Amino acid sequence: MVRIRIALIMGIAAASILGMLMASASLSNGNPYGYSETDIVDGEQADDSVRALFGLQGGLLTVQPASGGSASVAPLGAPGCIGQASDLRWHGAFEARWTPHKGETSTIFAFPADFEIVQPTDETAEMEPIKLGGTELAVYSPRYTDCHALETYFFGVRDGRAFPVSIRMDDVRALASIGRLPGQKPIAESDELVIIGGFAAGMETVPVYAFRYEPEARTLTLTRTEQRKLTELGG
């Protein structure tokens, strides 16, 4: 059973929203886990549970299987740099949804077709909060560790509405996500967000990016990049 500890971050109102979402999924499949024995195929189990959340006074942001889509979960099966053998891996069609306290749930972002989640347990993950200016950002990495870089997404919440935040690297290139060095969280410094990029074999340094958040464009815009030796980084 997915255990969700929401009350600590958002209060009773948001907890009730998540409860309704999970109850709906449970009832549709006839059991509290979101799947039935007939859904088990090739060692995988169909799973429509909420995989991540971010709660605010205005509502609840969730990551969960897409409406009308399919998602499944299975043990990772073998240890490696992306996790332990007993870890769980989800794959399928996923989306981010916003459920305000007053209003209907809406889909605000569809994750790419090759999207997958790897986590140590089936507990719902809580997105990391970062505040830049008047906007609170939710930081979401579907994997908790990786060989070279953690895929990371950003979402914003302002004036009671949630939205995806794009990452603009230059005048022509905008990304939906960015890879960051495992063990290094994004840090808010003054009005900038600092992200340490990932690495590959043979690299002695990694890029350190500084982004400025532009609320009107709902984007993180790269302002500068520097290189830093791996030996200089804690983690």
* Per-residue pLDDT reduced to its tens digit, 83-97: 999 999 999 999 999
Q: Give dist(CA 117, CA 100) in Å, integer.
A: 25
| Closest listed residue to residue 46, CA positions, set 17, 28, 70, 20 | 70
76: exposed, middle or buried (Cβ count in 10 Å: 0-12, 13-18, 19+)? middle
For the chain, give the mean pLDDT. 83
What is the spatial distance between Cα 188 and Cα 195, in angstroms, rounded to a whole number?
Answer: 9
The answer to whether residue 137 scores a pLDDT higher than 90 is: yes
Ramachandran angles phi, psi of 29, nearest 5°: -110, -5
Residue 182 has pLDDT above 50, yes or no: yes
pLDDT at 37: 33
Return the pLDDT at 42.
54
4 and 102 both lie in a single domain: yes
The model carries a pTM of: 0.81
- What pLDDT is recorded for position 148? 93
* Same-domain pairing of 172 and 96: no
Beta strands of the chain (E only): which ranges?
45-46, 52-56, 59-65, 71-75, 88-92, 94-100, 106-110, 116-119, 125-126, 128-132, 135-140, 150-158, 161-168, 174-175, 178-180, 187-189, 192-196, 205-214, 219-229
End position of a domain, from candidates 72, 93, 126: 126
For residue range 30-77, list pLDDT tens digits in order. 333 333 333 444 578 999 999 999 997 789 999 999 988 789 999 999
Q: Produce one character per residue of 160-174: b if its CB has 16 or more CB atoms within 10 Å, e if not.
A: eebbbbbbbeeeeee
3-class DSSP assignment, residue 230? helix
Same domain, 134 and 116: no
Predicted confidence at residue 4, as pLDDT, reads 39
Q: Are 208 and 178 in contact (CB under 8 A)?
A: no
In this structure, of 12-21, 41-50, 120-129, 143-152, the range with the lowest mean pLDDT score is: 12-21
pLDDT at 159 over 90: no
Q: What is the mean pLDDT of residues 226-231?
A: 90
* Same domain, yes or no: 101 and 166: no
Question: 235: which 2 tokens?
Answer: 């983690």
Three-state DSSP at 53 gives strand
Instruction: Please give the tally of structural domains in the chain.
Output: 2
Range of the domain at 58: 1-126
Is 97 found in the same domain as 61? yes
